Homo-oligomer: A and B are copies of this chain.
Amino acid sequence: MTNFFLRTLREDPADAEVASHKLLVRAGYIRRQAPGVFAWLPLGLRVKAKIEQIVREEMAAAGAHEVHFPALLPREPYEVTGRWTEYGDALFRLQDRKGADYLLAPTHEEAFTLLVKDLYSSYKDLPLTIFQIQDKYRDEARPRAGLLRGREFTMKDAYSFDASDAGLDASYQAQRDAYERIFARLGMEYVIVKADAGAMGGSKSEEFLHPTPVGEDTFVRSAGGYAANVEAFTTVVPEAVPFDGLPEPRILPSPNTRTIATLVDLANAEYPRPDRPWTAADTLKNVVLALTHLDGTRELVVVGIPGDREIDDKRVEVAFPGTEIEPATEADFAANPGLVKGYIGPWSPAGAVLGEESTTGIRYLLDPRVVDGTEWITGANVDEQHVFGLVAGRDFTADGTAEAANVVPGDPAPDGSGPVELARGMEIGHVFQLGRKYADALGLKVLDENGKLVTVTMGSYGIGVTRILAAIAEDHHDDKGLVWPEAVAPFDVHVLATGKDQAAFDAAETIVAALEDARYDVLFDDRPKLSPGVKFADAELLGVPKIVIAGRGVADGVVEVWDRASGERTQVPIDGVVSALAG
C-alpha cells in the first residue's frame, strides 16, 4: 500500500445518497467524473474484473461466443428500427467531421442483427448466441445512486439467433439458466419476475430482480411462488353477477364531492346503507387521460377503476404502448363538454355518455374487476350529482378493459398461489424473446431445410455488471465499511503490519510471500508510521474478507486472523496463516 494507488476518505461524498455509492467512493473504488459517469480506481477495477470473469465463464458454459462492438455506431440501423427517435433524450447523439450522424449505443440489437446478416445465411449456422461485455451509454434524466443508475455503465449483452420458435425457446432457456448460475456464484438473492414484453415487440420477457430497499422497481410476489413486475401483473377477474333483483340506479345530489374521500363521506352521511358503510371500493373513479400517439395525434380516453385504487404510471404505460400519456388538461375538458369534471360517469340521466352506445367518441376502458352485475357509485355527468347502484353490463358498458390500476397487497396472484405482497427490487438481469422484430426490420433471413428464406427469431439478454457490483456493495456493508463476499473481493487477504517493530513488518512480508505462493491475491499494508487504528479503519473500510494483523504478537510467534464479516479474531502461528485460511 506504500505504492498502491489508493486514497481512502473520511467524509462521504456530498452527492451520495445510498451506502454503496458513499462507501465505493470513500474506500477508493470509484471516482466521479461527471453526473453518472465514473472512473474506476484499482480496487474497483479488480472487483469489476472478477464479476466479468464469472459472467464470461457462464456465458462460455452456455455456448455463447464473445465479441466486442464499438460504442460509437452509425445512425442508419437505429433509424430503420425506429430506436433513433424512440429513445428520445436518453440517447447520446453526435456527428462526425463530415456531419454523419452517430450514437453511443445504449444496447446493440441492431449491430448484432446486422453482423449475423452479414456473415450467416443458412439454418445450419444456427442456433447462435453471441455476447459482449461493454461500456454502454444512456443519457439518464436523473443519474442517481452512484453506479446504480449511471449514464455510462458496463453490461454483458447477449443476443441469440434461431431459425425457429422452438430454437428461440431453447436459447432463451440456456441464457436464463446461465443467469441463475451467475447470480448463485455471486451469492445474490434474485427473483425472476414476468416482465411486460409488449412494447418491445417480443413475446416473452423475464427480469431478474434483486430484492433491496434501494431498488427502483416495485414487484409483486406471493408466498406461493408467483413473481412479476407490477407492469406484468394481471388482475384476477371475478365472476360476473346475475342482474336479477338488482335495484334500479338512483341519481342523488352530491355537492362538493369531486374526490373519492368526500364522496364516501357524503354517501355514508346522507345515503347510508343498512348492512355496512360505503367505502372507496364501492365507487367507480373515471380518469381522463390524454394519449399522444407516435404519429403525433392526441386522443382522450377514460379509464374506469375502483375508487380505492390509483392509476399506476408503469401499468398504464403498458396498457397504452407507444403513446405518451398525461392527465387531460382544462382545454381537453373544455373541448369535451360531455364530460363533467369531478362527476364523470359512463351514464347520465340523458343516456350513455361512454361505452358501446356512447355518442362522445371517447374510448372507455374498465378495470377488469368491473364485471357484469357489479354495482357502483359513480358520477352522473351532471354537476354535483352521482348515481348510486349503477350496474355494469346492465346500465353501462365499456369499449374494453385496461390494466391501469395499481396492485395492492392482498390482491390474488393470477396463478392462484395466494395473495401478493409488494417489494422493492433492482433489475440486475433481463432475458427477452425479441422474436422477429429486429430481423424483420433489418432483413435478417436464412435458408431453411427446404431452401426457403425464413426470418430469424432473436432473443436479447442483459446483465448490468457495474450495477451488480454496486448492489453487492449495498448488501454487504456495515457502519465501518464494505464487507466483500469472497467471490468478488478485490483481494483475498489484507495483511497489516502494525507498530514500530521491524519484526512485525518482516513477519508480515513472510506471510504475504507464503500467501502469494499459495495463489492468494494479497493486499499488503506496509505503510510505516501509521497507527494501528488507522490501518484497522482502512481495512474495515476496504472490506477484504480476511485480514491478517502482524503486530505485537509477532514477538510470541503469532499473528491475528480477522474475519471481516463476523468480526471474529483468531490467534494463529506465523507459519500457520496459509493453513488457517485454507481451513
Interface residues of A (CB under 8 A from B): 3-5, 7, 28, 31, 33-34, 37-42, 45, 48, 63, 65-74, 89-90, 92-94, 96-97, 102, 104, 111, 115, 118-120, 125, 128, 130, 135, 137, 139, 141, 151-152
CB distance from A279 to the nearest CB of B (A): 44
Known contacts A5-B67, A34-B102, A42-B65; decide if A89 and B94 are in contact (CB<8 Å).
Answer: no
A70 in contact with B5 (CB, 8 Å) = no
Q: Are B39 and A111 in contact (CB under 8 A)?
A: yes
* In contact, B63 and A39 (Cβ under 8 angstroms): no
25 CB < 8 A contacts A-B: A4-B65, A5-B130, A7-B119, A7-B125, A28-B119, A33-B70, A33-B74, A37-B73, A39-B68, A39-B111, A39-B115, A42-B66, A42-B67, A45-B66, A70-B152, A71-B135, A72-B151, A72-B152, A90-B97, A92-B96, A93-B94, A94-B94, A96-B139, A96-B151, A97-B141
The answer to whether A5 touches B65 (Cβ under 8 A) is: yes
CB distance from A377 to the nearest CB of B (A): 45
- With a cutoff of 8 Å between Cβ atoms, the chain B residues found around residue A115 in the complex are 31, 39
> Are the CB atoms of A37 and B5 closer together than 8 Å?
no
Bound-complex Cα distance A117 to B199 (A): 47
* A37-B7 Cα distance, complex, nearest whole Å: 37
Given the complex of chains A and B, what is the CA–CA distance between A37 and B72 in angstroms?
A: 8
Kindly list chain B residues whose C-beta atoms are within 8 Å of the C-beta of A120. 7
The 9 closest A-B pairs by CB, nearest first: A94-B94, A7-B119, A40-B68, A5-B65, A89-B97, A34-B74, A39-B69, A42-B65, A70-B152
Q: What is the chain B residue whose CB lies nearest that of A127?
A: B3
Closest chain B CB from A530 CB (angstroms)? 12
Chain B residues with Cβ below 8 Å from A151 are 72, 96
For A65, the chain B residues whose CB sits under 8 A away are 3-5, 42
Bound-complex Cα distance A89 to B98 (A): 9
Residues of B within 8 A of A37 (CB): 70, 72-73
| Interchain CA distance A128-B152 in the complex, whole Å | 27
| CB-CB under 8 A for A70 and B31, given A3-B63, A93-B94 | no
Q: Is the CB of A118 within 8 A of B74?
A: no
- Contact for A38 among B38, B70, B139, CB less than 8 A: B70
User: Is A33 a contact of B73 with CB atoms below 8 Å?
Assistant: yes
- Is A70 touching B139 in the complex (CB atoms < 8 A)? no
Is the pair A73, B34 in contact by a Cβ cutoff of 8 Å?
yes
Chain B's closest residue to A100 (CB) is: B34
- Chain B residues with CB under 8 Å of A71's CB are 71, 135, 152
Whole-angstrom CA separation of A119 from B135 in the bound complex: 25
Q: Which chain B residues lie closer than 8 Å to A3 at the CB level? A: 63, 65
Q: Is the Cβ of A137 less than 8 Å from the Cβ of B63?
A: no
Q: How far apart are A89's CB and chain B's nearest CB, in angstroms?
A: 4
Report the separation of the CA atoms of residues A151 and B72 in the bound assembly, to the nearest whole angstrom. 9
Q: Nearest Cβ in chain B — how far from A229, in angstroms?
A: 26
Cβ contact of A45, chosen from B67, B97, B119, B139, cutoff 8 A: B67
Contact B40–A139 (Cβ < 8 Å): no
A446 to chain B, nearest CB (A): 13
Residue of B nearest to A64 (CB): B5
Given A45-B66, A96-B139, A135-B135, 5 other A-B contacts at CB below 8 A? Answer: A33-B73, A37-B70, A39-B111, A72-B137, A72-B151
In the complex, the answer to whether A33 meets B111 with C-beta atoms within 8 Å is: yes
Considering residues A68, A71, A137, which has the most beta carbons from chain B within 10 angstroms of its beta carbon?
A68
Question: Closest B-chain residue to A7, C-beta based?
Answer: B119
Minimum CB–CB distance for A79 against chain B, Å: 14
Docked complex Cα distance between A37 and B73 (Å):
8
A104 proximity list for chain B (CB < 8 A): 72, 94
Residues of B within 8 A of A137 (CB): 72
Contacts of A28 in B (CB 8 A): 119
